[in-house]
Amino acid sequence: MECVFGMVGKGFALVVADSSAVNSILVHKSNEDKIMVLDSHKLMGASGEAGDRAQFTEYVQKNVALYHYRNNIPLTTKAAANFMRGELATALRKNPYMVNIMLAGYDEETGPSLYFIDYIATLHKVEKAAFGYGSYFALSMMDRHYHPNMTIDEAIKLADQCIEEIRSRLVVAPQNFIIKIVDQDGAREHSWRRTTKD
């Protein structure tokens, strides 16, 4: 029932994720932040097995930091995406990580970008993407309303439309959503969409 989706706009990239932590029929908490700030200009929205999610995303974050200290220059979004894909691919035939990643980043030279990374190490550079049951609704909504070079307000409006669709049509819809944005000023939290307080 986890939903993560993202899109690229004019000079920024957006990642939206639900914030429910669920175990069978019990909701542990509904303010779980699943969008990790990988470094100053990268966001990583992750869905899947909670343990694998924490393990994999933290591992990637520390390795990205190490690269920065060693080489005095941060990894590009493309490089980080390929690194993640490589790690997932190596683990796939032994001990797979059940994590789906939406990587959004802003690079000086190439601007904003979004990468779709599957738990079986699929890597796609995309303008818009979504994971989970919510993807059936979010992707359809984005197919209809998305256009390149949207402003932040247009993108947030579209994100809200997707969230609205997920809330009304998904049988076990997540209660709260978190929206994070990355642009030339860095990666940061944008806002929450709550129906319950935790």
Partner 1 sequence: MARYDRAITVFSPDGHLFQVEYALEAVRKGNAAVGVRGTDNIVLGVEKKSTVKLQDSRSVRKIVSLDDHIALACAGLKADARVLINRARIECQSHRLTVEDPVTVEYITRYIAGLQQKYTQSGGVRPFGLSTLIVGFDPYTGVPSLYLTDPSGTFSAWKANATGRNSNSMREYLEKNYKETSGQETIKLAIRALLEVVESGGKNIEVAVMTKDGLKQLDEAEIDAIVAEIEAEKAAAEAAKKAPAAKET
Residues lying near partner 1 in the complex (CB under 8 A) are found at: 58-59, 62-63, 65-66, 69-70, 72
**Among residues 24 and 72, whose Cβ is nearest to partner 1?**
72
Q: Which amino acid is at 61?
A: Q
Beta carbon of residue 160, minimum distance to partner 1 (angstroms, whole number) = 33
Q: Is 63 or 175 the residue whose CB approaches partner 1 more closely?
A: 63
What is the distance, to the nearest Å, from the Cα of residue 25 to the centroid of all Cα atoms in its chain? 24
Nearest approach, Cβ of residue 66 and partner 1 (Å):
5
Among residues 63 and 82, whose Cβ is nearest to partner 1?
63
Q: Which is nearer to partner 1, 58 or 164 (CB)?
A: 58
Identify which of 100, 88, 91, 95 has the alpha carbon closest to the alpha carbon of residue 47: 100
Are residues 3 and 33 in contact, defined by beta-carbon separation less than 8 angstroms? no
Smallest gap, in angstroms, from Cβ of residue 22 to partner 1? Answer: 23
